[in-house]
Amino acid sequence: MTLVYRVIRNKKGRLPDTLLRNSEGKTLSPHESAKLLANTFYPDDSVSTDMPFHIRTRERIEDKPVEGLRLSEDDPPFTLVELKAVLRS
């Protein structure tokens, strides 16, 4: 058994949570930590911060229908079963 498993096996109770700190050094709550991580790794998509590449990409996809895709108001929404089947495939 590797050393890591021996350490975990011999550990009593729960391992301490690692707390995040903001740029000012303040320790964050779990909720604040989650928000900081989400904003860091998944920032809001804003046109004001677009680089030239992003501008060209937005221009190419704007108002262009997907070829061969014709949806009408009569089309029913996807079911949960259909979505799960697609995700499995």
pLDDT score, position 85: 93
For residue 85, list its beta bridge partners.
Answer: none
What is the token pair recorded at 13? 């109770």
End-to-end CA distance of the chain: give it in Å, rounded: 37
Q: How confident is the model at residue 88 (pLDDT cuts 50, 70, 90)?
A: very high
Instruction: Give 8-17 pLDDT, tens digit per residue.
Output: 666 666 656 6
Residue pLDDT, tens place only, 34-67: 999 998 899 888 889 899 999 888 888 876 666 6
Phi and psi at residue 51, to the nearest 5°: -90, 165
pLDDT at 65: 64
The number of angstroms, rounded, from the C-alpha of 42 to the middle of its chain's C-alpha atoms is 6
> Whole-angstrom Cα distance, residue 35 to residue 43?
11
